[in-house]
Amino acid sequence: MKKQQQHGGAGGCPDTRPPAAAAAAAGGGPGPGGGWRRRRPLSLLPFLSLRDYGFCMAALLLFCLGSLFYQLNGGPPHFLLDLRHYLGNSTYLDDHGPPPQKVLPFPSQVVYNRVGKCGSRTVVLLLRILSEKHGFNLVTSDIHNKTRLTKNEQMELIKNISTAEQPYLFTRHVHFLNFSRFGGDQPVYINIIRDPVNRFLSNYFFRRFGDWRGEQNHMIRTPSMRQEERYLDINVCILENYPECSNPRLFYIIPYFCGQHPRCREPGEWALERAKLNVNENFLLVGILEELEDVLLLLERFLPHYFKDVLSIYKNPEHRKLGNLTVTVKKTVPSPEAIQILYQRMRYEYEFYYYVKEQFHLLKRKFGLKSHIRKPRPRPEFFIPSPLETEEPIDDEEEDDEKWLEDIYKSGGKEVLLSPFRTLGTDTASGA
b/e sequence 417-432, b meaning 16+ C-beta within 10 Å? bbeebeeeeeeeeeee
Gap between the Cα atoms of 48 and 45, Å rounded: 6
3-state secondary structure 42-67: CCCCCCCCHHHHHHHHHHHHHHHHHH
* Residue 288 identity: I
For residue 379, give the DSSP letter: P
- Count of CB atoms situated within 10 Å of the CB of 267: 19
Q: Could you write out the DSSP letters of every residue in 220-262?
A: HHSTT--HHHHT--HHHHHHTT-GGGSTTTT--STHHHH-SSG
Gap between the Cα atoms of 303 and 327, Å rounded: 28
For residue 409, give the DSSP letter: H
402 near 325, Cβ under 8 Å?
A: no
Dihedral sign (CA 420, 123, 328, 229): positive
Reported as type and span, the H/E element at residue 86 is helix 78-87
Gap between the Cα atoms of 115 and 252, Å rounded: 9
305 near 188, Cβ under 8 Å?
A: no
User: From the candidates 85, 96, 144, 173, which is the catalytic residue?
Assistant: 173
Is 7 catalytic? The answer is: no
Gap between the Cα atoms of 356 and 347, Å rounded: 14
Gap between the Cα atoms of 280 and 286, Å rounded: 10
Q: Is 188 helix (H, G, I), strand (E, B) or coil?
A: strand
Half-sphere exposure of 246 (CA within 13 A, CB side): 15
Residues annotated as part of the active site: 173
